[in-house]
Structure 1
Amino acid sequence: MRPFTRKPRRSPRSRPGALAVAMGLAVAPVFAVVAAPPADAASTLRSLAEAQNRYIGTELTGNMVNNATITSLAGTQFDMVTPGNEMKWDTTEPRNGSYNFGPGDNVVSFAQAHTMRVRGHNLVWHAQLPGWVNSLPRNQVQGAMEAHITTEVNHYKGKIYAWDVINEPFNEDGSLRQDAFTNAMGTGYLADAIRTAHNADPNAVLYINDYNIEGENAKSNGLYSLAQSLLSQGVPLGGIGLESHFIVGQVPSSMLANMQRFAALGLDVAITELDDRIQLPASSSSLQQQANDYATVVKDCLAVTRCPGVSQWGVGDADSWIPGTFPGYGAASMYDNNYQPKSAYNATATALGGPPPTGGGGPLHAVGAGKCLDVPNSTTAAGTQVQIRDCSGGSNQTFTHSSSGALSVYNGGDCLDANGKGTSPGTKVIIWPCNGQANQQWTVNADGTVTGAQSGLCLDVTGGSTANSALVELWTCNGRSNQQWTLG
């Protein structure tokens, strides 16, 4: 895996300070139903994960908890939530002895309202550390650390499934970072922090969390040796968190073996901050590779008894930290900028034991134009006429052909439809909520045509155009290239 630059703090617009100013201490989030399929509860990611005795989690931070689209999707599809910034030291104790738990309480309240567990993130980290901690005399750092951990863990006692007690303690060569804690206490701060957290909440699973430790390498070897040492001392370390901020196509081949060796120590091994960034613009092949990567990670987790689950960092591409940190990269999550599921979502659902898309699917390529059938602007508005556009691999260009003949988009949320049940040449081809009627049934033929079961007419790019935004209609079949399509 390519060396990974440390994940920095979020941009100011998503910082917890901004949340506190905007929300006060506890503004109740607003929830709404959005067109974020699948609607069948039995096929949600959370239900599929729970059937495997696993969880599937997401991260919320800043104003995400006030966005109805995000909260509806998060509450429906996920059963674990990690606060991105709201429990970090610079938010919870910005001044020595002065605590602010309002932002974190709001995330916990959201989780409780949606029957989600909470992963506490985090207690001790060299970053997002308020200046007063770094300014303390060395002989006062341990007392400040223990007081901070005890106060925060006690505040959330009984509400937190697991804590990232220590976050990102290692350098790439497997040595410990030099920070306020190692400078004051040496390596002993790690055991002390974990014991302190355990004393405050004996039921929480206590983790060390880091990045670039997913495969077997110098950094994960350093963590493995540390874990052995802590356990030999009777330190109540409960788990290892693999952040898993990947570049597409670079999931380490040794990830499963690495997880298994930590599990063999008696530790849980969780995927805590998964995303898989792509160099933009994302191609259909890179999005398919991303789907393969997500499936690999989920399957690795399922193969390790002590892997309790997988958490994605963020909900969709629109709220991802990647574009602001890695210019030119993005599209790193299972949901696109419009919070519609991508191929990575389908691959994750299938890896969790869900059924694969029925009858095959993927982009519907317009052979004559070299473009893809496209729902304009990823809209879900019923009656929108479809068009052709450069292939992007987005959910608005991903169609599934069911055994009943429907060509559905958005994972079954809408179907291709002959407008008004029209059977005459020139009838618009639109999207409409799937209803199983004859004007939504299509035959994908061996000669490359796609014909309407009701009309017998061919799916046709108007006027034989090859331009972006050229509209698609029904027309008498004539064998021309603007009526030739390939699915998948």
Structure 2
Amino acid sequence: MPLGRTLIRLHHAWALAVALALVLATGALAATTPAVAAGSTLKAAAESDGRYFGTALTDADLGVTGETTVAGTQFDMLTPGNEMKWDTTEPSNGSYNFGPGDQLVRFAQAHGMRVRGHNLVWQSQLPAWVRNLPLNQVRSAMESHITTEATHYKGQVYAWDVVNEPFNADGSLVGDVFYQAMGSGYLADALRTAHAADPGAKLYINDYGIEGENAKSDALYRLAQSLLSQGVPLGGIGFESHFVLGQIPADMRANMERFANLGLDVAVTELDDRVQLPASGSALQQQSTDFGAVVRDCLAVTRCVGVSQWGVDDAHSWIPGAFPGYGAATMYDGNDQPKPAYGAALSALGGSNPGGGGGTTGELRAVGAGKCLDVPGGSTAAGTQVQIYGCWGGTNQLWTRTPSGQLTVYGGSGQLCLDAQGQGAVPGTKVVTWPCNGQANQQWRFNADGTVTGVQSGLCLDVTGASTADGALAQLWTCTGHTNQQWTLG
């Protein structure tokens, strides 16, 4: 028999002997069945606070399994990306096509998602026949279109973006065909017409560049005040939130609050955060900070009903096509794997991301080596430096993530915690087992990119030298994003 296999058998035998001794001492082995953490999806965490977390899909996306799997698992609100816009629903005067929109509504209903109708009146994606109408025919065409579409989806749509992007950056109204025909009064007319057709839906004005207090958001605020004073059934303001990395307005929360104080709902409707490509690790960390900040701003405003990301993943985002050289704007990469922004959003919602296996108890596997975090020889001595070793299910390889963020091994009076030795917070600090004491050097954060970081140090749990060999030691090290710093639990 090869020497390596002999050593593994001896290691296993010794650890089993220690495990049996612990069973006799404590009366039980650590549980081996992974438990599902509550609030472990965006929608579950949002729903626990009475909010929603949504996404946008197009009919083409319905053929992409990775996208639809994430959408159905993580999100509880769906916005059709294009399928309810005028150029799709009424491409020629009086000729309607609701098939693409209906397909997305059916997907939403099958997955327990509500639908945000998007949109009824917008100067873009507007058929040429509307733009070329005599101005004295525009009002009737607009009212007919709104009535027909809103009636078709009556009772199936949670909210409508009735008027989309009506303002210029300086606060003036866009001089589109609707404004040319009716002046600013077209907004009130559109909202009243939509309410008559679908009185159960919440009616929004939706725009970009209004997230902070500026000329554009000030103009929208004055418009909202005016509409409400006239009894117009405006129900909410949509903050699109198409951001550039690191540029979340510091006054976004206060700005949303002032609209909410008018008695309006507010929502983040089209969130993404574009990054100059190729996206660096530091950029993805900044993006996670940005996503977390936006979610926290919403949660701090009682009438902020939810957040929707525009699209599911980076591979199908609109950003690269619209902003050459930029991309990586969503919480999911091109392979539908969560990025650090996902973990930040989930954490801001009060949820938990237990790791790749979805469990809170099990083997902690080093992704790069395919081996398990292991207490050498099943040692119960305080200060034993942990290592990676071939996975075999012994109790010296079974870790439990506690609600307080500790990682424990063994059980009962023999329980030990994963510990940064001597409360070290510098690269190269040994990772050891130590009696549990609740201090920050024994608390660990599981991140969406697969890394596990020490709460006290912010450093990553790391396999020394990126080794894949049995017995390679664990340490703390500056986070690099490499696979020797990625782990799955369960």
Same fold, TM-score > 0.5, yes or no: yes
How far apart, in 2, do the equivalents of 1:94 and 1:252 lie? 38
2:170 corresponds, among 170, 173, 185, to 173
2:310 corresponds, among 310, 313, 319, to 313
Are the structure 2 counterparts of residues 408 and 190 from structure 1 closer, same or farther at C-alpha, using a change threshold of 3 Å? farther
1:155 corresponds, among 152, 175, 191, to 152
Partner residue in 1 for 2:446:
none
Q: Which runs of 5+ in 2 are unaligned?
A: 1-34, 378-386, 400-408, 410-417, 422-427, 435-461, 480-490
1:117 corresponds, among 105, 114, 121, to 114
Q: Does 1:406 align with 2:397?
A: no
Q: Does 1:138 align with 2:129?
A: no
Q: Does 1:104 align with 2:101?
A: yes
Deviation string 1:204-239 (CA, Å, 9 cap, x unpaired) is 000000000000000000100111111111100000
Are the structure 2 counterparts of residues 436 and 332 from structure 1 closer, same or farther at C-alpha, using a change threshold of 3 Å? farther
**Letter aligned with residue 310 of structure 2:** W
The 8 Å contact of residues 244 and 274 in structure 1, kept in 2 or not, is answered as: yes
Q: CA shift at 1:62, angstroms?
A: 3.5
Partner residue in 2 for 1:213:
210
Q: Which runs of 5+ in 1 are unaligned?
A: 1-37, 359-379, 383-399, 463-470, 478-482
1:270 corresponds, among 267, 271, 283, to 267
Are the structure 2 counterparts of residues 422 and 322 from structure 1 closer, same or farther at C-alpha, using a change threshold of 3 Å? farther
Larger radius of gyration: 2
Q: CA shift at 1:473, angstroms?
A: 3.0
Q: Does 1:322 align with 2:313?
A: no
Q: CA shift at 1:282, angstroms?
A: 1.4
Q: How does 1:326-341 map to 2 (within 5 A)?
A: 326-341=323-338
Partner residue in 2 for 1:302:
299
Q: How does 1:48-447 map to 2 (within 5 A)?
A: 48-355=45-352, 406=364, 416-418=370-372, 438=396, 446=421, 447=428
Number of residue pairs matched?
A: 387
How far apart, in 1, do the equivalents of 2:137 and 2:389 lie? 68
Partner residue in 1 for 2:380:
none
Deviation string 1:387-426 (CA, Å, 9 cap, x unpaired) is xxxxxxxxxxxxx9989882566xxxx995259x999xxx
Partner residue in 2 for 1:473:
469
How far apart, in 2, do the equivalents of 1:290 and 1:41 lie? 25
Q: CA shift at 1:325, angstroms?
A: 1.1
Query: SS of the counterpart of 1:120?
Result: strand
The 8 Å contact of residues 58 and 74 in structure 1, kept in 2 or not, is answered as: yes
Across the aligned residues of Structure 1 and Structure 2, the Cα RMSD in angstroms comes to 3.4
The 8 Å contact of residues 315 and 333 in structure 1, kept in 2 or not, is answered as: yes
How far apart, in 1, do the equivalents of 2:198 and 2:328 lie? 38
How far apart, in 2, do the equivalents of 1:278 and 1:435 lie? 42
**Letter aligned with residue 244 of structure 1:** S
How far apart, in 2, do the equivalents of 1:47 and 1:240 lie? 24
